[in-house]
């Protein structure tokens, strides 16, 4: 459990630092927006769906904000994954309202029952939010709505999956043909390195929680498919000036909502002691999957054949049943973290 005095002292210190950097942050975010526009403005938009277990680890919230700041992704829908579908919809809906993007539809995926308070790590943020007040579209039969969206699209849909995937797997079982009209980008696995760059591989959570769902994803006939494992996504953090730029963007409703959620999440999360929330982000696994959907040039890729054991380990295996393009290492992690910061700050592009 985090020491509350230390927790609050860190927040006060960070607020002071953020105030000192506010003018620098505003100037740099404007520069960053200009640079990012130059990189991406000529690329066409593509219909995009996020499949997420938002409300558990905080990185899904960062990833949602990231998609909302990418002009070449025509964001159409969020499909909830695992746990309590309505809780995940609450977090999503309030974030979309903060971004003024209630045109993005929310599709309730498979529901696994009401989550206890200790598992609703961002619960206090949506305690008084009424899903009925959301002015956009919420599909109670979300899997069917997702299938209709894919079938009706005249161009391939980018499907970004950043959580255990029972809802997406169910959609593929009901209508396997939809995969042919999808470009798949996922955050899954661990091939050469585990959590935190550990040289011992890990049973990565998104695979481990629902191994069979992941196996279904890997046998689907996607138009294209690429995943980011812990080897790359498990190394991403915003810290130092990059993080202070985000923290001090207090006039940005979307980024303020991200930070509010992070501050609520930090003392509630059970698997780590997040007493650094005032100076750095936690690991932003999911942002790499989002990045691959519109750029991905700072990553090195390898096509890997592998097997998946029942504990959720993805094992290099020349005779394995699965093969996928994998973002296996960074060309420059530092450049990506700078780029991600610029992208998140570019609110005028949304």
User: Binning pLDDT at 50, 70 and 90, where does residue 170 land?
Assistant: very high
Q: Are strands 73-80 and 105-107 parallel, antiparallel or unpaired?
A: parallel
Separation of CA 235 from chain center: 14
pLDDT tens for each residue of 107-117: 999 999 999 99
pLDDT tens for each residue of 259-315: 999 999 999 999 999 999 999 999 999 999 999 999 999 999 999 999 999 999 999
How long is the chain?
Answer: 350
pLDDT tens for each residue of 227-257: 999 999 999 999 999 999 999 999 999 999 9
Kindly report the CATH number assigned to the domain that includes residue 343.
3.90.245.10
- Long-range pairs, 1-7, Cβ under 8 A, ≥24: 1/267, 2/266, 2/267, 2/273, 2/274, 2/275, 3/275, 4/267, 6/275, 7/266, 7/267, 7/275, 7/277
pLDDT tens for each residue of 76-89: 999 999 999 999 99
Dihedral sign computed on CA atoms, order 228, 234, 236, 237: positive
CA distances from 132 to 48, 79, 128, 136, 276 (A): 25, 18, 12, 10, 36
Name the nearest CA neighbour of 75 among 52, 49, 55. Answer: 49
Cα separation, 70 vs 134, in Å, equals 23
Share of the chain above pLDDT 70, in %: 87
Q: What is the average pLDDT score of the chain? A: 90
Tell me: pLDDT of 12 over 50.
no
239 bridge partner residues: 280
Domain count, the chain: 1
H or E element, residue 326: strand 322-330
Name the nearest CA neighbour of 93 among 76, 78, 115. Answer: 78
HEC string for 105-151: EEECCCCCCCCCHHHCCCHHHHCCCCHHHCCCCEECCHHHHHHHHHH
Residues whose CB is less than 8 angstroms from the CB of residue 3 and which lie 6 or more positions away in sequence, other chains included: 275
pLDDT of residue 44: 61
pLDDT of residue 296: 98
Angle, to 10 degrees, between the axis of helix 253-265 and the axis of helix 59-68?
170
Tell which wins on pLDDT, 333 or 17.
333
pLDDT of residue 27: 38
Structural domain for 15, as ranges: 4-349
pLDDT tens for each residue of 89-103: 999 999 999 999 999
Cα separation, 170 vs 174, in Å, equals 6
User: Binning pLDDT at 50, 70 and 90, where does residue 328 land?
Assistant: very high
Instruction: Report helix, strand or coil for 164.
Output: coil
Phi/psi at 11 (5° precision): -65, -45
Q: Distance between the two ends of the chain, CA-based, in angstroms? A: 38
Dihedral sign computed on CA atoms, order 14, 18, 19, 20: positive
pLDDT tens for each residue of 181-226: 999 999 999 999 999 999 999 999 999 999 999 999 999 999 999 9
């Amino acid at each position: 459990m985090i020491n509350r005095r230390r927790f609050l002292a860190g927040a006060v210190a960070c607020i002071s630092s953020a105030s000192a950097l506010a003018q620098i942050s505003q100037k740099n975010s404007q520069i960053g927006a200009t640079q990012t526009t130059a990189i991406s403005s000529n690329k066409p938009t593509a219909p995009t769906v996020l499949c997420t277990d938002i409300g558990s680890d905080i990185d899904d919230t960062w990833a949602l904000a990231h998609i909302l700041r990418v002009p070449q992704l025509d964001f159409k829908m969020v499909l909830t994954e695992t746990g309590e579908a309505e809780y995940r919809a609450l977090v999503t809906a309030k974030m979309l309202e903060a971004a003024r993007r209630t045109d993005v539809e929310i599709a309730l995926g498979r529901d696994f029952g009401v989550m206890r308070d200790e598992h609703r790590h961002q619960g206090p943020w949506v305690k008084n939010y009424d899903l009925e007040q959301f002015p956009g579209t919420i599909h109670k039969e979300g899997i069917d709505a997702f299938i209709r969206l894919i079938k009706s699209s005249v161009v391939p849909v980018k499907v970004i999956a950043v959580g255990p995937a029972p809802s997406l797997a169910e959609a593929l079982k009901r209508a396997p043909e939809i995969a042919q009209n999808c470009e798949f980008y996922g955050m899954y696995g661990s091939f050469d390195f585990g959590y935190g760059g550990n040289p011992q591989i890990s049973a990565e959570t998104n695979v481990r929680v629902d191994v069979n769902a992941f196996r279904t994803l890997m046998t689907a006939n996607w138009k294209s498919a690429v995943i980011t494992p812990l080897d790359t996504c498990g190394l991403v953090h915003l810290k130092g000036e990059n993080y202070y730029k985000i923290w001090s963007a207090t006039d940005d409703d979307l980024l303020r909502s991200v930070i509010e959620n992070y501050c609520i999440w930090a003392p509630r999360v059970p698997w780590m002691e997040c007493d650094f929330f005032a100076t750095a982000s936690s690991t932003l696994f999911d942002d790499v999957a989002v990045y691959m959907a519109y750029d991905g040039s700072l990553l090195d890729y390898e096509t890997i054949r592998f097997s998946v054991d029942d504990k959720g380990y993805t094992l290099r295996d020349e005779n394995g049943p699965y093969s996928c393009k994998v973002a296996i290492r960074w060309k420059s992690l530092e450049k990506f973290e700078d780029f991600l910061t610029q992208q998140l700050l570019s609110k005028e592009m949304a």
